[in-house]
Amino acid sequence: MTTENNPPMEQIPLQKEIVEGRKRELEGWQYWVVAGIALAASLFHLYTAAFGLLSAMYQRGVHWMFMGSLIFLIYPATKSRPKNKIDFWDWILAGMVVVGCLNILLNWEAIAMREGMPVASDIYLGIMMVILVIEAGRRAMGWPLPIVAIIATIYALFGPYFPGVLGHGGFPLEELAPFQYLRTDGIFGVPLGVSASFIFLFVLFGAILSVSGAGQFFIDLSLALTGKSQGGPGKAAVVASGLMGTVSGSSVANAVTTGAFTIPLMKEAGYSATFSGAVVAASSTGGQVMPPVMGAAAFIMAQFLGISYWDIVVAAALPATLYFISIIAMVHFRAGRRGIKSLTDETAPKVGKVLREGWHLLLPIITLVVFLAYGYSAVKAVFWSIIIMIAVSWLGKAQYRMTPKRVLDALISGGMGAVEVAAACACSGLVIGVIGITGVGLAFSSFVISLSGGVLPLALFLTMIGSIILGMGVPTTAQYIITSTLAAPALFQMGVPLMSAHLFCLYFGVLADVTPPVALATYAAAGIARSNAIKTGFTALLTAMAGFLVPYMFVYNNHLLFQGSLLQIAFSFGTALMAIIGLAAAVQGYYFSVLSIFERALLLIVPFLLIVPNLVTDVIALVILVGVFLWQKHKAGRRTKSNPVSDAAQS
């Protein structure tokens, strides 16, 4: 898409899409038609946020009418098609989406009166919409999720031919298509409902925040806070990604946005290109579990669990904090091992100066947190945060003030930026519909319990592997929807609290973004770092290793989800800190100084001792951590006395 120049931070994700050859670059009247649809979508969602959401099928119908038609106008059928114009058949496909949605919007009362008894038009339009949703998913995300939807459809149609517990009576097409089309269990189910009510507004919030210069402010603040500590530039990259993650649930967009600045800074400080890209990828991925915004899946989780979004934010706070502290520890120990210097007083920004110039950019985020904490809906909270963001932008630099032109560009950008999540939600709805109509969810839960023999650690391991594999192929939102529907009930039957089970599924789907061979955040960061993508991927996997540990810890210890007394929560957080410090030191081979193989092995035991709460294992882990530290300090003192010159050179 061709627009007038905006701040670089806003343009990077869109430029990446263009470089990959996915989105069209339109000009003239075709651009303005597409921009007009995106603008109308943004205005519709702002209006319903201000004056109240429509009933479920109306809200979701209008949302998908905008998003579905935009997908066919923005994404060509194949990469070989011209990118500067819209093919005539894509106009037709976009029109078919509009027809399918208008049928619901204009005839919903008559449809509801039939109480699920379809007529011929319901069947034909249902088949059409199922095909359109699958094709829209393919264009926006590639083949993996549409293939899952196709397999699910085949499974629903040919149930009697499947063996064992997977077999069922089967559903003819004339029954399945209207079910997927006209009920809130299929295309217009909970996932698309969350996209229509919450997710779109948060995407819009992120677009407006980017235009207002928040990205550069987060980077400057991160450098000011951490730049002068050991390995400061690396820590700044982690903090910047974490801050960006509070308002952006996209790991790839986060990696490209912050990495464009922080990766060259890390390389200049002495970190390798591979490690620099790995740190940005790992920390950007954590943005999907970083409150207060997190990723789109968090809003769906609130709907699935029937709780407020604020409850999700509170529960996710400590695990996300532990994840980012673990990456900072990885960077700290790597800097110590490599002797990487910190920024100087001359090169590091001053905290006071940064806050004086950009303090107003924190107000919308603070507003969001306060509104959520006081029980306002996520819709109202983000709506007022958007309004405040536009207002306070005039307190900052002129180049970032939200003029009418910038507001218009942000509304268009937000409307276009929400289409991928909408496609994932609609396509996931097809899978959820099949799970609901066939009852395969119960069969899958029984299968997991049977395969694990009722042993919880094995069931958790199987769920972890399934979540990662599924997360490699489909977006995090879709992965969470599918695995939480299939696997979370099995974990719940084995005694795991529902919140813990759902967060467990979410975490490992998120970590798929740094798990080779399909690690999208890693590939984005490696492109900026100019490093080998596969090598960067495995380095990012090691850097994010605590992300594989923390979910097991909160499954066995729900105090980490802010449940229990403050003393219990503080003690559990302390033991979890010991676990990730031991893990980070063992992975990097450095603690107070370079670790021997035996010391490294000892520290590697620490996290495994602390997964399950137990006073004896907690004390053993503490003794190991303190013991190795004191022993290293003792050895360093002896080296200094025997040869101070060589010791200084080694450090």
At 644 the pLDDT is 52
Task: From residue 599, give the alpha-carbon distance in Å to each of 579, 630, 631.
Answer: 15, 12, 10
**pLDDT digits 0-9 by tens, 407-418:** 999 999 999 988
Q: Which range has the worst mean pLDDT, 171-175, 226-230, 432-436, 619-623?
A: 226-230
At 534 the pLDDT is 81
Task: From residue 1, give the alpha-carbon distance in Å to each of 23, 36, 631.
Answer: 8, 13, 60
What is the Cα–Cα distance from 103 to 372, expressed in whole angstroms?
36
Domain ranges of the chain: 8-185, 192-402, 570-651
Task: From residue 460, give the alpha-carbon distance in Å to each of 362, 499, 548.
Answer: 38, 14, 11
Q: Per-residue pLDDT for 643 more than 70? A: no
Q: Helix 251-269 and helix 214-226: axis angle, to 10°?
A: 40
Whole-structure pTM value: 0.78
What is the Cα–Cα distance from 121 to 99, expressed in whole angstroms?
12
What is the Cα–Cα distance from 34 to 94, expressed in whole angstroms?
11
Mean pLDDT, all residues of the chain: 85
What is the Cα–Cα distance from 267 to 281, expressed in whole angstroms?
15
CB 180 within 8 A of CB 129: yes
At 54 the pLDDT is 95
Tokens of 449: 């319990």
Encoded amino acid at 176, one letter: L
Of all residues in the chain, what percent carry a pLDDT higher than 70? 92
Centre a 10 Å sphere on the Cβ of residue 596 and count the other Cβ atoms it contains.
Answer: 14
What is the Cα–Cα distance from 109 to 113, expressed in whole angstroms?
6
At 639 the pLDDT is 67
The end-to-end CA distance of the chain, in Å, is 51
Tokens of 590: 């450095």
Task: From residue 108, give the alpha-carbon distance in Å to each of 44, 176, 281, 505.
Answer: 20, 19, 45, 35
Task: From residue 377, give the alpha-carbon distance in Å to each of 380, 384, 418, 639.
Answer: 5, 11, 20, 60
- The more confident residue out of 289 and 132 is 132
At 483 the pLDDT is 82
At 2 the pLDDT is 37
Q: Which range has the worst mean pLDDT, 8-22, 230-244, 288-302, 614-628?
A: 8-22
- The more confident residue out of 345 and 76 is 76
At 625 the pLDDT is 93
**pLDDT digits 0-9 by tens, 472-517:** 666 777 778 888 888 888 899 889 999 999 999 888 888 877 877 6
Q: Per-residue pLDDT for 15 more than 50? A: no
Q: Per-residue pLDDT for 648 more than 50? A: no
